[in-house]
Each structure stands twice: as structure tokens, then as C-alpha cells.
Homo-oligomer: A and B are copies of this chain.
Amino acid sequence: MRSIAERGAELRERVRASDVVAISQMISALEGRTELGLSLRKDLYTMGGTAHVIGVTGAPGCGKSTLVAALTKVLRQRGLTVGIIAVDPSSSLTGGAILGDRIRMQEHTLDRGAYMRSMSSRGSLGGVSRATVDAVAVLDAAGWDVVIVETVGVGQADVDIVRIAHTTIVVSAPGLGDDIQAIKAGLLEVADLHVVNKADRPDADKAIAELLGMLTLGGGFGDGWDIPVIGTSSVTGQGVQELADQLTAHRAWLRDGGELGRRSRAAAVARIRALAYELLMERLDDPTKGDGFDAVVDAVTERRLDPHTAAADLIDRVAATT
């Protein structure tokens, strides 16, 4: 039986050589938080840094998955390798959404330059963000040119993923309901590119005009990047080449204007904070310090102690024993 270190070294080299089986194994090891996975996280980070990480987000029902499949096809035709991480909000009880994704992506499954992985967000608290960020790091370390992260457009995972993406595409579609539009509006501010999908529909022009109006209302950001609004259609194929062009343009702008450095720094801050939290929770859960934590929780449950004082005491305790 080989040691964790030996198995880790082999897996790391296979990932570096873009071996898709090794990539899948490493993502699973990280998702499952196995000893092997955790031992490789540090190496992964320093191996990466070359991929163009693209976040694709938007309200449910806007056709994100189909758009990502169409975009992947165009990027592959341009000779780029494409990794896709799809964050799936569905529960194990249905599995509907993910099945749809997989069927739509099937035409790429025989293509070694297109890698697709779904992450379930079921039951996790912060777990999906961490697992997704780890999966991006694996594909980046493996030398993938483009890594696309597709999320459902609401919630914490999205916020975290926007922070690691170099370029964020916000997808909308004409004719969605009011509540959906409200969610979409919350995403307006994070967009580097807007896509109005289902542009073959008669009400698409109105949706594009409305978006352009909102962007004008919000004022330019004055940093030299004019946020484009691109109409796309999975039926006619309209707009997908233009989207690929704009992604290239945005990446060049990020590099040339110094924005890439700023975004990388913000991503590092977010990542360090998330990991510091994770570590803090692990130390609080440490059974050798368990008695203290349980006693504090009892006091808070019985309202003898408030949770603010409890939290401060615990941080000091974790601190004192390291």
C-alpha cells in the first residue's frame, strides 16, 4: 500500500499532464475532503494561475446550460480547451436539472478538450463554494485554457464564484416573471458581459433595450470597459461567436489595464477569509476542546449567556491553545 504522499505525487503529475481521469479523481477527493485531497490543495494553488475563469450566472429558466454548451462548441473550434463546472441547486430527490445539463452536454463527452463536472449544492453550507473553487483550481492546474463556472444566479455560492471569476456573464431572457427579474436585477452589478438569451423570440429586442437602459441609468464605470449586451439564440446560433469575441476582448482588457491584478487580489482576500473561517470551525469542533464548546452552547441555549460574548470567548480560547 503506497503512502498518501506517494499517491498524491502521482495524482499531481497526472493532473499536470491534463489526464481527465486524474482530474475527476482529484475533484472528487477534494469534494469528499479526503486526506489525499486535502494534502494536494496547497500544491494545486501554486500550479495554477493561467486559466481564463468565466462565471456564467442568471435567473432560473434563462437557458444558461444550453448557452454554455453552444459557447463551448465555439471555443473548442477556436482551439481552446474548456472545462465546465455546473453548480446544481437540485436535491437528490429530483435530479431533474442535472440530467438536463448532462444530456445537453453529451455532444462534448467524447471530446478530451472539453471537461464537464456538476457539483450538487444540496445540504451544504459553504461547501458548494469551497468544492467549486477547488474544482476550478484543479482544471486551472491541469492547464485548461478556459474554465466556465455555471451557477443558478442566486445565493451565496454565486457571490463566492463571482469573486474567483475573471469575467462574469449575466444571462437573462425575455418573458420571465417579475420575481425572476428581481433576482436578475441583483446580478446586474456584477456583469462584465450581458447576454439576452432566446433572442429569436419577438420580445427579445425589448429586453435588450431595457438592459441597455438600466446600464445607462447606472452610469458607466469609467474604467474603460463598456459592458456589452449580446443577444444569443441556441435555436439560430446567433450571437455565440460575438460572445466568444467579447470574452477574448475582456481578457485582454483585464490584462492591459491592471484590472486582472486587482481582481486576483480580491479573489485572494475572499479565499483566505473563507479558509480562515473553515479552520476556525474545525478548531471549535476539535474534540480535545469539545467540552468547552458544548458548555458554552448550553449556556447560550438556556439564555444564560449571549452568543456575542460566547463567540469572543471561543476565539480567544482557540487562539490561546494553538
Number of interface residues of A (CB under 8 A): 81
Contact B297 A265 (CB under 8 A): yes
**Chain B residues within 8 Å of A42, by CB:** 306, 308-309
* Residue A218 is within 8 A (CB to CB) of chain B in the complex: yes
Contact B280 A315 (CB under 8 A): yes
How near does chain B come to A237, taking the closest CB pair, in angstroms? Answer: 23
**Chain B residues within 8 Å of A41, by CB:** 306, 308
Contact A311 B275 (CB under 8 A): yes
CA of A218 to CA of B88, assembled, Å = 20
* Residue A96 is within 8 A (CB to CB) of chain B in the complex: yes
* Residues 76-130 of A contacting B (Cβ, < 8 Å): 88-91, 93-94, 96-97, 100, 121-123, 125
Residue interface mask A297-322, B partner, CB < 8 A = 1 = 11011011011111110111011101
- Tell me the A residues contacting B by CB distance below 8 Å: 41-43, 45-46, 48-49, 60-61, 88-91, 93-94, 96-97, 100, 121-123, 125, 152, 154-159, 177-183, 185-186, 188-189, 214, 217-218, 261, 264-265, 268-269, 271-273, 275-281, 283-284, 296-298, 300-301, 303-304, 306-312, 314-316, 318-320, 322
The 5 nearest A-B residue pairs measured at CB: A319-B319, A155-B155, A60-B179, A156-B156, A275-B311
Q: Can you list 19 A-B contacts (CB < 8 A)?
A: A45-B306, A45-B308, A60-B179, A61-B180, A93-B217, A94-B182, A96-B182, A125-B156, A125-B159, A155-B157, A268-B307, A272-B296, A272-B314, A276-B284, A279-B311, A283-B315, A315-B319, A316-B322, A319-B319
